[in-house]
Structure 1
């Protein structure tokens, strides 16, 4: 299978103002968010992207547009595609409310301690949010691998709770533990899907060289080892030539 980079959108006016934006139209990046998106796009410029997919919310499309605009001349960006499966959680009646007010709601404690039991009033459950995001990413990942090969890398620009839910799935964590994970504005999280299991390669990064993602995945450690097997002892790292047999 392929490798997906999950990018949360840059900081927005709602983030800065302490408001739960949800799917409210017109929420855009603020000045800090634009800088974050540019910095992330510069990191991503060295990575050949087989696909560039975004949530339909404006803040994600803005963030994706920075990635598309900062591709090197010899590596044009693929067209930005919208995937509803990557959309923000439907927070229902909570949408547009100040976080400080929501924290007084009894449901807030359930969101923190047992998210699998949460249905937002007038909105969706967190279990449904996770399932549709996982389905969307795994489906798209398989399509990218079929079209471009197992070494392909693609980018999904989405939202904090979506990144956390996808990361929990990849780590085999119950949804009730997903609040232990974190996804900052414009941060990058890298997951490689294999026939054996997902492998989490990076989480919530803000800086650092990503050129290692341009190299093909490391070869299996020995003859007969299955694709996706964990290397006992840790292995030799990405891009390592296959061992002589």
Structure 2
């Protein structure tokens, strides 16, 4: 694959965690502890990471849940990052009483139709609303983008204006490792898509998505890229591999 190089602008790479034991079991893992990557998920993730259009990142930020921590560790085999940190804003939705339940069974719940058709109105019993999760994640991305822009400006100021050397890029990149529904909400925001439509987006486990923030509006450069050709159904929590 030949990538067009994106220079002189903040770029965010959204990396979904690799295939987990919950994905293969078809359950809504949520924030349940101990959900780890499968051997298949690890090998597919390594293949996909070789396709990244950039290998150096100013930041590698990840959800504190195990499957994202493992994904970030595997990413560091391929990329370099100036800083690495677990960020609560990138954590999976709190599905409350739905946590650990079968996605097949949840399809029969009355709330399911709201989750699919009117996501902005959906609140999981004993848990978080989709709108709240989207708001915290979008706010975190906005903060990261502004930080990257400020760093790019600082780089420009430190250049010697009298230097005859060819001007080099000051592009800053950040990788955010998170979960299916969180990444879908971030993509929807970048596209100015209503949250009620975010279930139209499919983001495969172990895939990466690239969004550049060079101008007044984000531009989606690539979405759900994998080397293994995995896909998923439009279900909350990212279950349903097909």
Q: TM-score, normalised by structure 2?
A: 0.80
Contact kept, 8 Å, 1:68 with 1:78, in 2: the verdict is no
The equivalent of 1:221 in structure 2 is none
Contiguous gaps of at least 5 residues in structure 1: 209-245
Counterpart Cα distance in 2 of 1:166 and 1:205: 16
* Aligned match for 2:199, one of 179, 182, 187: 179
Structure 1 residues 35-74: aligned runs within 5 Å: 35-44=43-52, 46-71=54-79
Residue 15, structure 1, aligned to residue 23, structure 2 = yes
Matched, 1:2 2:22: no
2:172 corresponds to which of 130, 136, 152 = 152
* Structure ranking higher on relative contact order (CA contacts 8 Å, 6+ apart): 2
**RMSD across aligned positions (CA):** 1.7
What is the rounded CA distance, in whole Å, between the counterparts of 1:145 and 1:51 in structure 2?
13
Partner in structure 2 of residue 118 of structure 1:
122
Aligned length: 204
**Residue in structure 2 matched with residue 205 of structure 1 by the alignment:** 225
Displacement of 1:147: 2.4
Return 143-152 or 186-195, whichever deviates more.
143-152
Question: Match of 2:184?
Answer: 164
Secondary structure at 1:157 match in 2: strand
Q: Distance in 2 between matches of 1:40 and 1:147?
A: 29
Give unpaired runs (5+ residues) of structure 2. 1-8, 154-169, 229-242
Query: Against the structure 1 CA distance between its residues 100 and 135, is the aligned structure 2 distance closer, same or farther, given a 3 Å change threshold?
Result: same
Contact 2:13–2:210 (Cα < 8 Å) also in 1: yes
In the TM superposition, residue 4 of structure 1 has moved relative to its aligned partner by 0.1
For residues 40 and 63 of structure 1, what CA distance do their matches in structure 2 show? Answer: 12
Aligned-pair CA distance for 1:131: 0.5
Partners of 1:40 and 1:48 in 2: CA distance: 16
Residue 78 of structure 1: CA displacement? 3.1
Question: What TM-score do the two structures reach when normalised by structure 1?
Answer: 0.79
Q: Secondary structure at the match of 2:55?
A: coil
- Give how far 1:77 is off: 3.2
Provide the rounded CA distance (Å) in 1 between the counterparts of 2:81 and 2:57.
7
2:81 aligns with: 77
1:137 Cα deviation after fit: 1.0
Superposed displacement of residue 193, structure 1: 1.6
1:45 deviates by 7.9
Corresponding residue SS for 2:144: helix
The answer to whether the 8 A contact 2:48-2:225 is kept is: no
Equivalent in the alignment of 2:139: 135
